[in-house]
Amino acid sequence: MPGMYFEDFEEGQEFETPARTITEADIVNFAGISGDFNPLHIDEEFAKRSRFGRRIAHGALTFAIMTGLCARLGMLEGTVEAFYGVDKLRFTRPVFIGDTLKVRVRVVKKEDRGNAGLVTFHNEVVNQRGEVVLVCDTKILFRKRKSA
């Protein structure tokens, strides 16, 4: 899919991303990149004694994977001016090694900003059981066709 312009979006429009399985390598690599070596993520014995009973993925990793899955839709290719922000971010369930995630995306608001337009998306990251593991609203500034 080529990148979408501000005019291409409609409130209520929905998208669903491809899926991706979380691996141990994802968690280990993210710990190294972020510097977050919390034992809930990297120490199996510690995590066994936690409320989760096993290691969990970092919340920030789950968010990062969400952004990557959304990018795979192609609608951001060459038409995004800026990632404007995130509102109402919540991690509603743990993500475990072996969980397969996808994102349900819905356009909730469009705001004309002159030579660009701000689109607000409601995002739900769901696992293979259909359980929501992360929810947030993202705001992205898109080019307009007439200014492209």
Catalytic positions: 36, 41, 56, 59
Q: What string of H, E and C letters represents the secondary structure of the chain?
A: CCCCCHHHCCCCCEEECCCEECCHHHHHHHHHHHCCCCHHHHCHHHHHCCCCCCCCCCHHHHHHHHHHHHHCCCCCCCCEEEEEEEEEEEECCCCCCCCEEEEEEEEEEEEECCCEEEEEEEEEEECCCCCEEEEEEEEEEEECHHHC
> How distant, in Å, are the alpha carbons of 21, 111, 120 from that of 58?
14, 32, 25
